[in-house]
Amino acid sequence: MPGPAPHRPDGPEFRDAPDVLDAPDLGDPATFADHDLGGLWRTLRDTAPLHWNPPAGGRRGFWVLSRHEDIMATYRDDVNFTSERGNVLVTLLEGGDAGAGRMLAVTDGHRHHELRKILQRVLSPRVLDEVARTVRRNTRQWIREAVESGGCDFAEQIAGRIPMTTIANLLGVPEQDRDLLLGLTKAALSAEDEDVEDVEDVDSAMARNEILMYFTDLVEERREAPGDDVISMLIGSSVDGVPLTDEDVVLNCYSLIIGGDETSRLTMIDCVRTLAAHPEQWRRLKRGEVAVDTAVDEVLRWASPTMHFGRSVVRETELHGVRLRPGEVVTLWHASGNRDERVFARPGVFDLGRTPNKHLAFGYGPHFCVGSYLAKVEIAELLTALRDFTAGIEQTGEARRIRSTFLTGFSTMPVRFVPEPRPGTAARSPAD
């Protein structure tokens, strides 16, 4: 069996032997759109748990962690690794994140702890009770309408509405602006056009800047006329007695709108696609043989919508016998860790009754997703509504995959929800 992946720095000097694996470039979005990477992840976990992805296409090289245990350990380690130089490839490879030290996701240490406490106050289960009731009401209404219509693009008509409506309500975004924000969040970190060669391009940067400008205007409005929304709460908050600046508030709104939409939306789309492809699991849910909360965790593990997060090395350290130097980029791949045979029995099997389920969909450690409760509520309400109002799910056309190095999933999902049979008629399975 080959040893650990050797060290290959970006500069002309190689500290060790050449890389042992001829692996595809994980910095190229086409890799994820055009390849089934299940075999690659297994090979990396077994033979090169610390793999060097060499420079390509003008991008820096970076390290790849693929084992569940290593990913968790790195998430916990805020001594040797930092998120303050970016936490996804698009920013890590560009040399940093403009929100470092101000936006929760790319802030460490004491300030991260204090910002997290502020956001947890408005995203806690107790505070979100009314929000959860609204999610339930909306989801059930939209699923009923989709069943009655005979078919829909689930991605656009339902999954595109549930999380955006929820996070927009929390932030106090006017209803007429929500379609605009949904389009911008989709463009910020992924592309739908398969001809796009580099999704981290001008269009993506423009989308990110437009989101920031939108919230800059909204923050100014809330300073003049505060409400009972999250933006008004952030404006009135402080860290160590120093009020948050407008830029602090805007950056954290950006993080909330991106995080609050993308993970839930892509997970819901994958959930419906997977249930249509696994009628035996659908029947388990329909018959009440698996708990909805348990099913939610398997849906999240299976979808793994955020394929990776990243860290930068701040102190020389060692992993799998390889020295990591300050400034180097280490990427932690949920797409692999959530299929790790060392943690999950039969990880390639979609099992709604899987327990325990230590998936990494929300990260781990100090940066565990602050919105995880809300995301689980949204997915649980979707599963409950599907169970209550449909007899089955049929995918009626090809789904279009998004292109990204960060997110995975589909931008379209044509489906038909089989109606519940009327009294006196027999139910029809999607497989019939």
Position 6 scores a pLDDT of 43
State the DSSP code for 401: B
d(CA 163, CA 377): 10
Confirm if 115 and 362 have CB atoms less than 8 A apart. Answer: no
Q: What are phi and psi of 161, to 5 degrees?
A: -105, -40
Q: How far is CA 113 from CA 103, 108, 230, 366, in A?
A: 12, 8, 18, 8
Position 320 scores a pLDDT of 96
Position 4 scores a pLDDT of 38
Position 317 scores a pLDDT of 97
Show the CA angle centred on residue 267, arms to residues 249 and 25, nearest 5°.
Answer: 85
Q: How many CA atoms lie within 13 A of 393 on its CB side?
A: 32
d(CA 362, CA 256): 14
Within 190-278, where are the H helices? Answer: 202-224, 230-235, 246-277
Q: How many CA atoms lie within 13 A of 327 on its CB side?
A: 6
| All structural domains of the chain with their residue ranges | 29-417
Which residues does the chain have with pLDDT short of 50?
1-20, 196-200, 426-427, 429-432
Position 200 scores a pLDDT of 45
Structure confidence by residue, pLDDT tens digits, 356-397: 999 999 999 999 999 999 999 999 999 999 999 999 999 999
d(CA 209, CA 300): 29
Position 430 scores a pLDDT of 46
172 Rama class: left (phi>0) / alpha (psi -120 to 50) / beta? left
Position 95 scores a pLDDT of 83
Overall pTM surpassing 0.85 (yes/no): yes
Structure confidence by residue, pLDDT tens digits, 311-333: 999 999 999 999 999 999 999 99
Residues 6+ apart with CB under 8 A from 157: 142, 146
173, with CB counted inside 10 A (0-12, 13-18, 19+), is buried
11, with CB counted inside 10 A (0-12, 13-18, 19+), is exposed
d(CA 254, CA 90): 16
Position 3 scores a pLDDT of 38
Helix (H) or strand (E) segment spanning residue 239: strand 238-239
Homologous superfamily of the 29-417 domain (CATH)? Cytochrome P450 (1.10.630.10)
Tell whether the torsion through CA atoms of 78, 82, 83 and 89 is positive or negative: negative
201, with CB counted inside 10 A (0-12, 13-18, 19+), is exposed
Confirm if 302 and 402 have CB atoms less than 8 A apart. Answer: no
Position 164 scores a pLDDT of 94
- Strands 317-319 and 242-243: what pairing? unpaired
Position 198 scores a pLDDT of 47
